[in-house]
Amino acid sequence: MEVTVAKSAGFCFGVKRAVDMVYEEAAKERKVYTLGPIIHNEQVVEEFAEKGVQVLESVEDLEDGEDAVVIIRSHGITKKVFQQLEGKKVRIVDATCPFVKKIHKIVQEKKEQGYQIVIAGSAKHPEVVGICGWCGNQCQVVETLEEAEKCVLETGEKVCVVAQTTFNYKKFKDIVAILSKKSYDILVMNTICNATEERQTEAGTIARKSDAMIVIGGKHSSNTRKLYEICKNECLNTHFIQTLDDLDLKLFQSFRSVGITAGASTPNKIIKEVQSYVRHE
């Protein structure tokens, strides 16, 4: 069996940076919290829990002046939550992905300049929730082409369109095309991470050439779900797994070629385990 593993599979820059920051703080023998799961991968979160790193669901769970470190996860948080965290007078370590921080700055500045803000992304995703908070939640979030068609903005005012860093690049272009037809004065800021575009393009290419495709990632990972959608569109026999335990090799015994890709929050160890097992079989 021929097995092709995507070169872009696994931790992206922002995720690796965040994970390394948690490792560094966990080694200092002090109380360490992450505000929400540091990344969307259960195995990584469980590993940190074993090192004593606790996940906070909200700032309210912290005591004022508690002697602790609070790490802001890679997805970022709203401006309001950041200010609440500062008010707790704990030590803050900001592991927000720099590419996400850039979007925070864009929407804050453009809102102040009088732009209407449109975000291409999933409204419930923590990254998008955080972005919305940096423009006072005065924005519209569009995830589908149907929502773009229904999107109504004030005429005569400028519009700034940004995207969740892990959004599907093709879908972003289609959404922009729909909004552009509405004759708005649109400023388009393609804030999809370059690594995301590369990962999605490579996944689609491998899927087209493979009899079957394996996509590895956390079940709550938005970028992994998008990879699955892209691969499924190119290869009917596409399977979404979190770890090797989820893999049923009986499904692959009749295939001559199998492709493997993984989301930005998937540790290299899991990718190698799947790759080795598939090749061995």
Active site residues: 127
- Rounded Cα distance, 247 and 218, in Å: 14
What tokens appear for 251 in the block? 């499904």
Helix ranges, 97-186 (H): 98-112, 126-133, 145-150, 169-180
What tokens appear for 172 in the block? 């972003």
Q: Please list, residue by residue across 243-257, b when 16 or more beta carbons sit within 10 angstroms of its beta carbon and e when fewer do.
A: bbeebeeeebeeeee
Nearest alpha carbon to residue 192 among 171, 207, 206, 208: 171
DSSP label at residue 25? H
Please name the amino acid found at residue 151. C
